[in-house]
Chain A
Amino acid sequence: MSEITSLTAARAAAAVERGDLDRRELFEAYRERAAADDLNAFLWVADEAPSTNGGPLGGVPLAVKDLFCVENVPSQAGSRILEGYLPPYTATVVRKLVEAGAPVLGKTNQDEFAMGSSNENSAYGPVLNPWDRTRVPGGSSGGSAAAVASGSAPWAIGTDTGGSIRQPAALCGIVGLKPTYGAVSRFGMIAFASSLDQAGPLTRDVTDAALLFRHMVGYDERDSTSVAFPEPVALPTAQRLDGIRLGVPEDLTGEGVEPGVMERFEATLALAQELGATATRVSLPHADYAISAYYVIAPAEASSNLARYDGVRYGLRSNGHDLLSMYTQTRHDGFGAEVKRRILIGTYALSSGYYDAYYGRAQRVRTKIADDFRAAFESVDFVVTPTSPGIAFPLGAKTDDPLAMYLNDYFTAPMPLAGIPAISIPCGLSEGLPVGFQLAGPAFSENRILDAAFALEQAIGFDGSAVRD
């Protein structure tokens, strides 16, 4: 690993700022690594450094999940149906980051339309976990997570719908932040489930996450669901957690969590208490139903969001002898099995006569979950859990069992349903593989989350540099 690429993004930006590092040299160092990526993390890598203009992000190149539209750059959302699709415009969040001085390094692999927890649902092949190439990196932002973890990108953006930033961050030993719904514009983000999707940073450390997030937030007149972030995003400084009340949901520490993961979680909780935090049990009585509600709401929205891939205007078009057969053949050829499964589930859930029993009920559960969190945050500052019930699993281990795969989202699905922010930070290894610790807070509490995560990060002292060589 070169000296340049061993720097965190914030340190690299500072070096550029001081004049110790040349932007082009920085970009080229990463471009070479990304081009040589053998994890299948990148689907496209920039040819050359863009003529840069400066900006506070110091020219530190950015890996961008495939589903963000970038003008004239392949943006395929990991799907065959968008193979070779070149958008005529750039997503707001990418534009903002480029303007802030983070040029696009490449597009990263992902589960098709962000549907998956292992990256095995990409039409362009699975991504390998840099810690163990026989294992998955998590998903759906698995390419972004693997690129950052392996040092082929200094930082990346991904999207989280039910855990798609936090879970791969956990499985790859990096930091992943899912912001408050509405904090970051979704304009130009190829939609999976509109009421849940949110873009966020995947970074080597908490400081980088804060720095990137600072330039992602803001109201966008092109996204009606976006809001102005209520305060400036600060870089974290906390060393202690005095007075911080952590809540461990008694309803969410059930079976199915690997002992090694639980051990790391509890050790981290103990560490937090050493830093001055208190830990209590909190009740989230409906959180146990989050997966059920999530796997109705997200597919329902997806079934509608993916209707536009019909072969008429862009992307794949298969031949048919009439309109209907063109539609069906295109979608048959263009979508993978998991996407088809979710379109069917979602279509069913929205059907006349079933709407109330499925979509309506799932929305009521969603409201209950949000209420649960609101009540919990009256007595604690953050809810903490393991990010994922297990460490990175072997490729192929769960591909035949969708329900087992869906349980990966057990700890991460409740937060998007409630619209609240949560971060995953690495908290050690189990069986030689990273474990993630999740902190969730009330809406727009990102500054406090980042601060607490920073204090914990310093105390944990996790070192992921081994896989960046």
Chain B
Amino acid sequence: MGAPSVTEYEAVIGLEIHVQLRTRTKMFCGCELSFGEPPNTRTCEVCLGLPGALPVTNAEAIHYGLMIGLALDCDLAPRSIFHRKNYFYPDLPKGYQISQYDEPLCRGGRLDDVRIHRVHLEEDAAKLVHTGTSGRIHGADTSIVDFNRGGTPLVEIVTEPDVRSADQAGEWLRLLRATLRQLGVSDVNMEEGSLRCDANVSIRPVGTRELGTKTELKNMNSFRFLEKGIRAEIARQEGLLRAGEEVEQETLHFDPRTESISTLRSKEEAHDYRYFPEPDLVPIAITDEMLTRARAALPELPAARAARFERDLGLTADSAKLLAWRAELGDYFEAALSTNGVEPQPLANWVNELVARIQVEDPAESKVQPGALATLVGLVSEKKVTQNAAKQVLDRLVAEGGDPAAIVEAEGLGAIGGGDELEPLVQAALDANPDIAERLRGGDMKPIGVIVGHVMRETRGRADGGEVTRLVREKLGL
């Protein structure tokens, strides 16, 4: 009989995301946040953990935390407290991190198709720099600490294990990034570390409910590495199970250079963090005023914007997401849409055409004015310019800016209009390809592209493909 049945596995993935908040000052002291200042210049007795220093909670960080909680549709705790998470490391000056444990700021929630488990506030560690070749503290010649980053406010967002693939993880994290960026609470830059993502990965046979043993994949510092890392870890786990071995619960490190996975900590080496309530801080009590202020600060968020684009403008789901999840694209799109009665879906397509052609992230920073793009889309809709010719116009706009109509005029890129102008060109194409004309006459329509292509070449793309096809049929009496 056929091949022996092979168990199909599905991945079960939960994400833990750390977001550096862009408050003016640190989480528990008055030091301003650091953006590349010389090492150890943004420090004080509090964030250096000097004897006797005490933390004071940054009210703006709580405000940002509430905004995030609202944006993720969480339950906001009327009272939450900080805990100490105790462990020794040179980047942790107090020997504990002030974090939240069983009474976080927000619980529950959802963003798109992934449920949120919790959102809490904490402080970032300092930055370690290791000299020597190992790149890690073990085997380093010396390790030096820059405390500028220490104490930067962090929000930790933990999802439920609702993600099923590396692609979904990447896509969802992009939505989260777009949402946080739109909130204006963080730079959300993975490469710079203001957005960091760990993934808890397990696999199970498709159709089963029980969760497999999970591993924690640490600190993948780009979307590409996140997706690659998860993919590699799923493959590694599948390999183990198929070989009859077991997945061990451990913390893993993905090396993007070699795309290999290595153990950071086994289960036995897991820390006992000895969490207990931080006695130096009083509980956070969320007042109605704080909630009102956080609600008032919420802009339209990417998920809502995408829904609006779909519902009100009739965009396809893909187009709506593409525009809404990058706020600058959505803004550009809406600016162009407001100029004249341009059709939303074609305009959305042309925004993508534009994005593919520019070097900058934000098309508003390109030479193509939103109004110019709208005009171009209008010319196409009115069949005054063909798709192909319009792409040439767009190339010119990207290079030099200007008015699309003027470019069409100057370059002679206007569509070759009705039958009068096209008819002789079609005839010439048929004359030049008698064998093709014969096959068409015999009812074999496959080679009609040759005739259309001939006309297009002759007109430098200014002819309308549909019109050419109609004329061919007419001439051949089909």
Contacts and interface: CB of A to CB of B under 8 A. Distances in A.
A322 interface: yes
Given A350-B86, A355-B276, A87 B51 contact: yes
B335 interface: no
A224 B55 contact: yes
Given A87-B51, A188-B53, A307 B280 contact: no
Interface residues of A, number: 45
A191 interface: yes
B276 to A, nearest CB: 5
B51 A75 contact: yes
Given A88-B45, A224-B282, 13 more contacts: A69-B51, A82-B51, A191-B51, A222-B54, A222-B56, A223-B54, A224-B280, A224-B281, A301-B279, A307-B95, A310-B88, A314-B51, A350-B274
Contacts of B401: none
A67 B50 CA distance: 12
Interface string B103-127: 0000000000000000000000000
18 contacts: A77-B51, A85-B51, A187-B53, A188-B52, A191-B51, A195-B279, A224-B57, A225-B281, A225-B282, A303-B86, A304-B84, A304-B96, A306-B95, A308-B93, A308-B94, A312-B93, A313-B49, A350-B274
Contact of B54 (A67, A224, A308, A351): A224
Contact of B95 (A186, A191, A308, A351): A308
Contacts of B93: 308, 312-313
A87 B49 CA distance: 12
Main secondary structure of the interface of A (DSSP, over half): loop
B50 A87 contact: yes
Nearest to A324: B88
Interface in A297-333: 300-301, 303-304, 306-308, 310, 312-314, 322-323, 327
Interface of A: 67-69, 75, 77, 82, 85, 87-89, 91, 186-191, 193-195, 221-225, 300-301, 303-304, 306-308, 310, 312-314, 322-323, 327, 347, 350-352, 355, 359
Contacts of B11: none
B138 interface: yes
Contacts of B48: 313
Contact of A224 (B49, B56, B86, B88): B56
A268 to B, nearest CB: 35
B288 to A, nearest CB: 22
Given A322-B138, A323-B90, A323-B137, A310 B54 contact: no
Contact of A187 (B54, B86, B137, B282): B54
Contact of A304 (B143, B274, B281): B274
Contacts of B280: 191, 194, 224-225
A191 B281 CA distance: 14
A387 B108 CA distance: 51
Contacts of A69: 50-52
B272 interface: yes
Contact of B52 (A91, A193, A313): A91
B84 A221 contact: no
Contacts of A312: 90, 93, 145
A284 B30 CA distance: 44
A186 B51 CA distance: 11
Contacts of B145: 312-313
Contacts of A304: 84, 86, 95-96, 274, 276
B86 A310 contact: no
Contact of B51 (A194, A195, A308, A352): A308
Contacts of A327: 88
A307 B56 contact: no
Contact of B49 (A75, A88, A188, A308): A308
Contacts of A308: 49, 51, 93-95
Per CB-CB distance, the 10 closest pairs between chain A and chain B, nearest first, are A307-B95, A350-B274, A194-B279, A195-B279, A188-B52, A190-B51, A69-B52, A308-B49, A352-B272, A190-B52
Contacts of B49: 308, 313
B303 to A, nearest CB: 36
A306 B88 CA distance: 11
B51 to A, nearest CB: 4
A186 B90 contact: no
B4 to A, nearest CB: 45
Interface string B243-283: 00000000000000000000000000000101110011110
A221 B282 contact: no
Contacts of B281: 224-225
Nearest to B84: A304
Interface in B131-178: 137-138, 143, 145
A359 B277 CA distance: 11
A131 to B, nearest CB: 32
B52 A351 contact: no
A347 B55 CA distance: 22
Contacts of A300: 276
A194 B280 CA distance: 6
A194 B138 CA distance: 34
A225 B281 CA distance: 6
A187 B84 CA distance: 18
A100 B191 CA distance: 52
Given A308-B95, A313-B93, A351 B51 contact: no
Given A222-B56, A310-B95, A351 B138 contact: no
Most buried by B among A82, A89, A308, A322: A308
A222 B54 CA distance: 7
B121 to A, nearest CB: 15
B56 A221 contact: yes
Contacts of B50: 69, 87-89, 313-314
Contacts of A87: 45, 50-52
A351 B279 contact: no
Interface string B63-95: 000000000000000000000101010100111
Nearest to A220: B54
Contacts of B272: 351-352
Contacts of A313: 48-50, 93, 145
Contacts of B95: 304, 306-308, 310
Contacts of B274: 303-304, 347, 350-352, 355
A183 to B, nearest CB: 15
Contacts of B57: 224
A187 B52 CA distance: 6
Contacts of A221: 56
